[in-house]
Amino acid sequence: MIMRPRSRRSLSGLVVAGAVALAVALSGCGSTPSGTTPSSPNAADGPITSQEAEDRGAAGAKQDPVAQQPATDVSALTVARVQIPSIGVDANVEPLERDATGVLLPPVEWEDAGWYEAGVLPGQVGPAVIAGHLDTTLREAVFVHLKQLVAGDQVTVTMSDGSTSTFAVDRAIDVEKKAFPTQEVYGPTPDAQLRLITCNGPFDDAADTYANNYVVFATLVSRTP
């Protein structure tokens, strides 16, 4: 018997959770324009104080590899490829957009990852977001082994001009979509960060989606022109 591929709502359920949460965060800022992030950074476990924010900003300015690079015009750049050697990922990256309701549309191809192009370009200050499918009923998809990443594993993102940004994994979280931590994932950071997102948890056939999101956090360690 031929199995029917799981519908793209399985990833949409993943990305929708993040995208809807992001849309709420943006609209909640009032003056924050679409495609930018809220102005008040939050720590993973709650709001940080103004002194902590100042300290983090200072630390980021000293340690962030972006600060050591000459300023370049990145407005025309897109993300071309993502490579994660420790889990065998070497994938094309599609640009992702939100629809009229604020929902982030998933990659068209199961083997591709997708970059939220209205957000941060990987390697620039802030949290760049790359999402990918987990699986289908027929086969594994691009981010099926994302949960195997451990601290220190490297992720290299190649831009359309051939430049690369390499990130080191810091940590990961498994969260319910209904309680998606918007600020923790999409909130502003004083340095260049990367978020990798896929589905997780039991698959709900009735809803045609997974219950959770799995989010990997990584920090920029090097850039090449």
Q: Which residues contact 153 (CB under 8 A, 6 or more apart)?
A: 84, 86, 87, 168, 169
Give the domain extent around 142.
78-225
Structural domains of the chain, count: 1
Residue 29 located in a structural domain: no
Which CATH number characterizes residue 111's domain? 2.40.260.10
Task: Render pLDDT for 17-45 as a digit per residue (tens, 0 to 9).
Answer: 444 334 322 222 222 223 333 332 232 33
Per the document, the length of the chain is 225
pTM: 0.71
Rounded to an integer, the average pLDDT of 91-95 is 98
Predicted local confidence at residue 200, as pLDDT: 92
Task: Render pLDDT for 141-175 as a digit per residue (tens, 0 to 9).
Answer: 999 999 999 999 999 999 999 999 999 999 999 99
C-alpha angle 60-62-63 in degrees, rounded to nearest 5: 65
Residue 16 located in a structural domain: no
Residue 117 located in a structural domain: yes
Predicted local confidence at residue 73, as pLDDT: 66
Residue 191 located in a structural domain: yes
Residue 17 located in a structural domain: no
Number of neighbouring beta carbons within 10 Å of residue 144: 20
Residue 163 located in a structural domain: yes
User: Measured between alpha carbons, how far is residue 161 from residues 43, 94, 128 in Å?
Assistant: 33, 15, 17
Residue 11 located in a structural domain: no
Tell me how far apart the alpha carbons of residues 27 and 24 are, in angstroms, rounded to a whole number: 5
In this prediction, residue 109 has a pLDDT band, given cuts at 50, 70 and 90, of very high
Residue 154 located in a structural domain: yes
Beta bridge partners of 156: 83, 166
